Amino acid sequence: MPAQPSAPAALLDAVSTPLLITSEQGVVFWRNDAARRLEQLIGDSLDVLPFATAVPDGPPVELRCPAADGSTRHFRVTCRRAPGVPAEDGDPVPLLYEFTDVTDERAAQHRADDYAWRLNRIEQLARVGTWEWHLPTDQVVWSPTLKAMIGLAPETDLDYPTYREMIHPDDLGLVEAALDQAIRDGSSFTYVHRMYRADGRQMRVLQCYGEVFTDESGQPLRMLGTAHDITEIRQAQDELAYLATHDPLTGLPNRRALTARMSELTAAGGTTAALLLLDIDNFKDINDLRGHTVGDEVLRLLARLLTEHLPAEAVLGRLGGDEFAVLLPSCDADQALAVGAGLCDLVARTPLAVHDEPLRVTLSIGAAPLDSTDDDTLLLAHADLALYQAKGEGRNRARLFAPEQQRLAAERVHVVSRVRRALETGQLQLDAQPIIDLTDERIRSYELLLRVRDDQRRQIGPGEFLPALERGDMIYELDRWVVETATRALASARAAGMDLRFDVNISSRSLEDPSFGDWVVGTLTAAGVPATQLGLEITETTAIENLDAARRLASTLTSAGCRFSLDDFGAGYGSFVYLKHLPFSTVKIAGEFVRHADHGGSDPILIDAVVRAAHGLGMRTVAEHIDRPELVPVLRRLGVDRGQGYHLGRPEPLRTLMERVGSPDGVSATVS
């Protein structure tokens, strides 16, 4: 066994570092006071620790040791041979183990590692990397996140020349100018540049911020910077900027871009230019009959066709819906009209291949020269007036703005204002014209007709103000006002013990409103008026142009019990096919066939055909514009059920009719 420590070994007892002396076999035969204090700290003997894993004169090992207070202590253990400690003859030199408490050191390291981990994670989440440029050595140190951004492995070394080669050539001058300025001034810097990834193909957009650090003399030593990967942000910004000025369906400039260009031209002054407004004729039919997918494809194909055939300096754009515009710089009025006519001809003779099926469309075009106005809003308005004329004259043509169109437009605006004022002041009224049974000459219903009775000298009728109202949204309000007024009158008549029947005309705009039919039925129900007492009329042309909407409204009304009449039958296309597909209760024969029915010719034959078709489909017939007594027996022989016209009864104010309803004699009206 080894002897007890000699005086030199005893000196070790005074040091503050825990020490153990063991045999080669690991048997502890001496410990200093510091070791005993350590054993008190951990609440156990040091013998239980695997300290013997430390190799004599080898590298230190680290041990984790639970302390008596529940904490964990970390010790670095080194092992050396202890020649100053005597051993018996034949025994090897004892081993000296030194325990160094590195708990605080490990805690600091853990905090540093944790900070580095969190910094790295934050960089990854924020897509922000960091870099440091050592100016004296020209060495660039990148964070792992920044290297990953451009496809470099974490162990890759990167110097400034290599970094420089990865910058997009067009941005290199910008980057170096910003860095040179920062080095000269010792200031902060910022720039955005494109950078190739390590594969040399993909490219990222980086937004960089940084600052320069100097020594005491002001000499720049290093630069620190951040790089934020804004590739996706920049792409989104570019897309938003593109969408702000372009139509997403066709890729053409949108209204904002066109009006901005027009503003530039008008602001320049003395510039020769013109504007074309293009509208696809009957485009709604394409959407209704073939679907919006086909409609969208038509718009794309038309945009491509127009682009290929317009002058190189022309700017084609889409204003919205089926409306396009062409801005023609260096083009006078006559040239613009010629371009418009050429486009009409081009589109009319060029079928559009939609899903391998040729589809033909036509255009209506309005042209306006810039010299007619110095305002882009007026330029658009003038072209729109010309477009309105082109549509009114039959479509598939181009028309040039003329001052007369502005006068007519001003008159339309004045008419609409009069109707609006009359509606608000109670000067918009309804007249009631009787519809007579031609067999017993009794009144079966009243058609309600709009009248404006204001203080203006020149009176206006429905034929004058309704087309103007159709161009705006006021027609919706007007149709509902008529239905509500008729419903109140019917309710008042029922309260007086009289059942009346009214028929009212509605516009094509309300026909297209999918909620209108349910609203009518709901209005009648709320007023306690049977649906059988109200009928709605639409013209033949309106029905044909809005076939699906007409079918929907007819179904809603007739299912509830309302009458639904086809007005002016024969004045438009006169197709009996629509009678087959639309559930009308009444067909009103146009006055064009009625006025001279007593003179023979083709009119009686056509009336007879309408009557037979209507009766065969379970519909009644009404002859309009009966203004002479001679017509009544002829129409009766042809089988016409009912009639209306000045001979049978002139229109009178609805309020006059309602006053008679309350009188003892009542009114002559029956329900059948």
Is 139 in the same domain as 68?
no
Is 656 in the same domain as 614?
yes
- Give the number of domains in the chain: 4
| Closest among 450, 454, 456 to 482, alpha carbons compared | 450
Q: Is the pLDDT of residue 2 over 50?
A: no
Give residues with Cβ within 8 angstroms of 404, minimum separation 6: none
Q: 101-110, 393-402, 429-438, 605-614: which range is least confident on average?
A: 101-110
Is 496 in the same domain as 603?
yes
Q: What is the pLDDT of residue 646?
A: 93
CATH code, domain with 269: 3.30.70.270
CATH code, domain with 476: 3.20.20.450
Tens of pLDDT, residues 620-639: 999 999 999 999 999 999 99
- Residue 134, domain member (yes or no): yes
Tokens of 131: 């870099």
Sign of the Cα pseudo-torsion (557, 563, 568, 572, in order): positive
Q: What is the pLDDT of residue 574?
A: 47
Alpha-carbon distance 388 to 401, whole Å? 10
Tokens of 584: 């009308």
- Residue 230, domain member (yes or no): yes
Q: Is the pLDDT of residue 336 over 60?
A: yes
Alpha-carbon distance 56 to 553, whole Å? 102
Q: What is the pLDDT of residue 509?
A: 77
Average pLDDT, integer, range 492-513? 88
Judge contact between 204 and 150, C-beta under 8 A: yes
Across 52-146, the runs of DSSP E, i.e. the strands, are 61-66, 72-81, 95-101, 128-134, 139-142
Among 78, 101, 124, the domain-final residue is 101
| Closest among 234, 206, 183, 203 to 129, alpha carbons compared | 206
Is 267 in the same domain as 180?
no
Alpha-carbon distance 135 to 32, whole Å? 53
How far from chain centre, in Å, is Cα 508? 27
User: How does the average pLDDT of the chain come out, rounded?
Assistant: 84
- Residue 498, domain member (yes or no): yes
Q: What DSSP letter does each residue of 170-224 carry, written as one string?
A: HHHHHHHHHHHHHHHHT--EEEEEEEE-TTSS-EEEEEEEEEEEE-TTS-EEEEE
Give residues with Cβ within 8 angstroms of 311, minimum separation 6: 328, 331, 339
What SS3 class is residue 455?
coil
Alpha-carbon distance 508 to 478, whole Å? 12
- Residue 119, domain member (yes or no): yes
Judge contact between 450 and 508, C-beta under 8 A: no
- Give the burial string for 442-479 (b: 16+ CB within 10 Å, else e): ebbbbbbbbbbeeeeeeebeeeebbebbeeeebbbebb
Tokens of 479: 């149709």
Is 435 in the same domain as 351?
no
Q: Is the pLDDT of residue 516 over 80?
A: yes
CATH code, domain with 47: 3.30.450.20
Tens of pLDDT, residues 417-435: 787 887 888 888 899 999 9
- Residue 654, domain member (yes or no): yes
Q: What is the pLDDT of residue 528?
A: 94
Is 363 in the same domain as 497?
no
Q: What DSSP letter does each residue of 323-357 carry, written as one string?
A: EEEEEEET--HHHHHHHHHHHHHHHHTS-EEETTE
Judge contact between 598 and 631, C-beta under 8 A: yes
In this structure, what DSSP letter does residue 604 have? H
- Give the burial string for 511-530 (b: 16+ CB within 10 Å, else e): bbbeebbebbbebbeeeebb
Tens of pLDDT, residues 46-97: 777 787 788 888 899 988 888 878 888 888 999 988 766 555 555 577 888 8
Count the Cβ atoms, other than its own, within 10 Å of residue 374.
Answer: 15
End-to-end Cα distance, the chain: 135
Phi, psi of 319 (to 5 degrees): -85, -25
Is 629 in the same domain as 518?
yes
Q: Is the pLDDT of residue 366 over 80?
A: yes
Q: What is the pLDDT of residue 621?
A: 92
Alpha carbon separation from 4 to 8, 9, 10, 20, 230 (Å, rounded): 11, 9, 9, 13, 73
pLDDT-based confidence at 413, cuts 50/70/90? low
- Residue 243, domain member (yes or no): no
Q: What is the pLDDT of residue 174?
A: 92
Is 577 in the same domain as 653?
yes
| Sheet with 72-81, side-by-side order of all strands | 28-31, 19-22, 95-101, 72-81, 61-66
Average pLDDT, integer, range 649-669? 76
Q: Is the pLDDT of residue 289 over 80?
A: no
Among 382, 401, 420, the domain-final residue is 401
Judge contact between 19 and 100, C-beta under 8 A: no
| Closest among 475, 530, 237, 262 to 377, alpha carbons compared | 262
Q: What is the pLDDT of residue 373?
A: 60
Q: 354-368, 404-418, 424-438, 511-525: which range is least confident on average?
A: 404-418
Tens of pLDDT, residues 137-148: 888 888 888 888
Alpha-carbon distance 481 to 504, whole Å? 11
Q: Is the pLDDT of residue 645 over 90?
A: yes
Tens of pLDDT, residues 186-227: 889 999 999 998 888 888 999 999 999 988 888 899 889 888
- Residue 422, domain member (yes or no): no
Is 302 in the same domain as 357?
yes
Q: Is the pLDDT of residue 566 over 70?
A: yes
Domain that holds residue 331: 251-401
- Residue 2, domain member (yes or no): no
| Closest among 586, 585, 600, 582 to 638, alpha carbons compared | 600
pLDDT-based confidence at 1, cuts 50/70/90? very low
Q: Is the pLDDT of residue 468 over 80?
A: no
Is 96 in the same domain as 186?
no
Alpha carbon separation from 115 to 122, 266, 371 (Å, rounded): 10, 62, 70
Q: What is the pLDDT of residue 670?
A: 41
Q: Is the pLDDT of residue 594 over 80?
A: yes
Is 577 in the same domain as 466?
yes
Judge contact between 495 and 501, C-beta under 8 A: no
| Sheet with 315-320, side-by-side order of all strands | 315-320, 323-329, 273-280, 363-369, 398-400
Alpha-carbon distance 366 to 382, whole Å? 8
Judge contact between 672 and 446, C-beta under 8 A: no
Is 548 in the same domain as 621?
yes
Among 182, 203, 235, the domain-final residue is 235
Pairwise pLDDT comparison (48 vs 511), residue with the higher score: 511
Pairwise pLDDT comparison (23 vs 520), residue with the higher score: 520
Pairwise pLDDT comparison (556 vs 4), residue with the higher score: 556
Alpha-carbon distance 195 to 149, whole Å? 10
The type of residue at 382 is H
Q: What is the pLDDT of residue 103?
A: 85
| Closest among 190, 187, 159, 193 to 173, alpha carbons compared | 193
The residue written with tokens 């004329």 in the block is 389
Tokens of 619: 């519909």
Q: Is the pLDDT of residue 671 over 50?
A: no
The residue written with tokens 């594969």 in the block is 199
Please provide the size of the chain in residues: 672
